[in-house]
Amino acid sequence: MKKLLNLFDFKQKVDYKTEILSGLTVALALVPEAIAFALIPGFSPLTGLYAAFVLALITSIFGGRPGMISGATGAVAVIFIGLILELKRNFPGITPETILNYVFATVIIAGVLQILAGVLRLGKFIRLVPHPVMFGFVNGLAIIIFMAQFPNFYIKDTTDLLPWPSFFMMLGLTIVTMAIIWGLPKLTKAVPSTLVAIVIVSALVIGFNIDTLTVAGIMKEGQTIKGGFPPLSIPNIPLTFESFKIIFPFAAIVAGVGLIESLLTLNIIDEITDTRGSGNKECVAQGSANILSGFLSGMGGCAMIGQSLINTSSGARARLSGITAAVMLLVFIMFGSSLIERLPMAALVGLMFMVAIGTFEWASFKTFKKMPNSDVIVMVLVTLITAITHNLAIAVLLGVIISALMYSWENAKRIRARKSVDANGVKTYEIYGPLFFGSTTAFTEKFDVPNDPEEIIIDFRESRVADMSGIEALNKLTERYRKVNKKVHLKHLSKDCLKLLENADAIIDVNVLEDPTYKVVADRFK
């Protein structure tokens, strides 16, 4: 029986020291991000931290990709802004506590939808994402991670830079962090350079009492990360159709965004580790984690590419690192809040800068002259849409749509017809290339109906009718020939095509032994 926990699968070699130290590093990096993402829609820092703990733990144990880290994310947090505005429009005077109950209900419903996606095995559709879209997604995400660190160099809640002494201190400590992360692996890989960098810079700041921005400084006055075990939070909302109608669209968006980001991150980690994860298993794990997060006062989330890259770059390959990160995060919340709040943001900013640099696909620049222009356009568009809108789902979906349209356009130009007339005066059109919605116009232009002889053969041996548009094009063409009393033989069509053709009985010469059996994509019948 296949074991669920790689940690206890003794066939896999697990470097326990690397896994634990990497998990500790990830936990430290999770704190400021979870706080920042919780503050986007105006939630308490603990709402984000609880979500990070629950998602990291559940997906690390049951997820489809060992080494991948999940938690509260900005892509999901932004969605709740729209939900809050919708709630305030429908329920004037709604209290923050009631809003949180609706948020928790939304996260739970989103989790149910994600589990359904996994059960229905929809995770495989992530394979439809073209490589240029993947490049664009990764590059756009790297830009987002990089740009998200800039507010730490500004006076809180303003667009003014820190005073010059504070600015240069922040910049200097950030550069020191980046230098340690870059240089230490060249000397030793005994411990993760990211953890060493955080420890050294934190020791400098705390030891010399350096006045610089800390984790406590990014929170609102009076807020803290100190808490207990995530409290049970059964959503207290009216069980009415009106409530469901308000939250369901947002739950569907949360589910979609979460799955797209998680499955794309899974693919990226697959490439880095040269292993294969399970998309459908990850869908179920993400859904289960979000359901539990909603019941344990968390805002929900999905896979985090930045934290996952920190983890894998530190050498973690098993589930232990993610479990360690989740457990250590809870330890910080329950027992180590005072110490964690003193950590300098410069150390964490430097870490995230290095993650952004490592995430960006610099090799994509070298492919500009090698890739087709259409792929370059798609990659650049997805990068820009991701970086500008911060909506990863929209960026990826638009990228897939644009890629599909460009592919259709290129294939539409490939259909051609070789014409010949035999000794009996029968004209044959040998069709090459796919007949589908994009190529129907070019297909019909190949035929000279008024001047063709009395008998015509259209041979599809080297072609395929791909969809209903192709069937309609054949119907219209055969109708044109019938109106001028000319006989048409359609050869090498599938039985599926024959059933869908309106004029089959009157005009088609069927060669049963040679006709193929492929299916036509048809969503309607005339």
The H or E element containing residue 455 is: strand 455-462
Greater confidence, 251 or 407?
A: 251
pLDDT one-digit tens code per residue, 229-248: 999 999 999 989 999 999 99
Q: Which tokens is 416 given?
A: 């051609």
Is there a contact between 113 and 252 (Cβ–Cβ < 8 Å)? yes
Whether the predicted pLDDT of 9 surpasses 60: no
| Amino acid of residue 501 | L
Q: Tell me the three state secondary structure of residue 457.
A: strand
Alpha-carbon distance of 269 to 145, in angstroms, equals 17
Average pLDDT value over all residues in the chain: 87
Mean pLDDT, residues 329-333 taken together: 95
Handedness of CA 332, 336, 337, 343 (dihedral sign): negative
The H or E element containing residue 136 is: helix 131-147
pLDDT score at 448: 93
Whether the predicted pLDDT of 191 surpasses 70: yes
**Which pLDDT band holds residue 356 (cuts at 50, 70, 90)?**
confident
| CA 478 to centroid of chain Cα atoms | 46
The phi and psi torsions of 447 (rounded to 5 degrees) equal -100, 140
Is there a contact between 300 and 72 (Cβ–Cβ < 8 Å)? yes
Is there a contact between 306 and 145 (Cβ–Cβ < 8 Å)? yes
pLDDT score at 520: 67
Q: b or e along 154-187 (b: 16 or more beta carbons within 10 Å of the residue's beta carbon)?
A: eeeeeeeebeeeeeebbeebbebbbebbeebeee
Whether the predicted pLDDT of 7 surpasses 50: no
pLDDT score at 80: 93
How would you classify the pairing of strands 416-421 and 427-432? antiparallel
Q: Hey, how many other C-beta atoms are within 10 angstroms of the C-beta on 394?
A: 16
Report pTM: 0.78
Write down the residue that tokens 């009076």 correspond to: 222
Mean pLDDT, residues 116-138 taken together: 86
| CA 163 to centroid of chain Cα atoms | 39
Is there a contact between 53 and 330 (Cβ–Cβ < 8 Å)? yes
In sequence order, what DSSP letters do the residues of 115-134 get, joined into one string? HHHHHTTGGGGGGGS-HHHH
**Which pLDDT band holds residue 130 (cuts at 50, 70, 90)?**
confident
pLDDT > 70: percent of the chain: 93
pLDDT one-digit tens code per residue, 437-479: 889 999 999 999 999 999 999 998 888 888 888 888 888 898 8
Of 68, 30, 29, 23, the closest CA to residue 51 belongs to: 30
Whether the predicted pLDDT of 284 surpasses 60: yes
Q: How far is CA 465 from CA 403, 407, 433, 436, 471, in A?
A: 21, 17, 9, 6, 7
Q: Hey, how many other C-beta atoms are within 10 angstroms of the C-beta on 511?
A: 13
Of 53, 65, 120, the closest CA to residue 261 belongs to: 65
Of 130, 133, 142, 51, the closest CA to residue 329 belongs to: 51
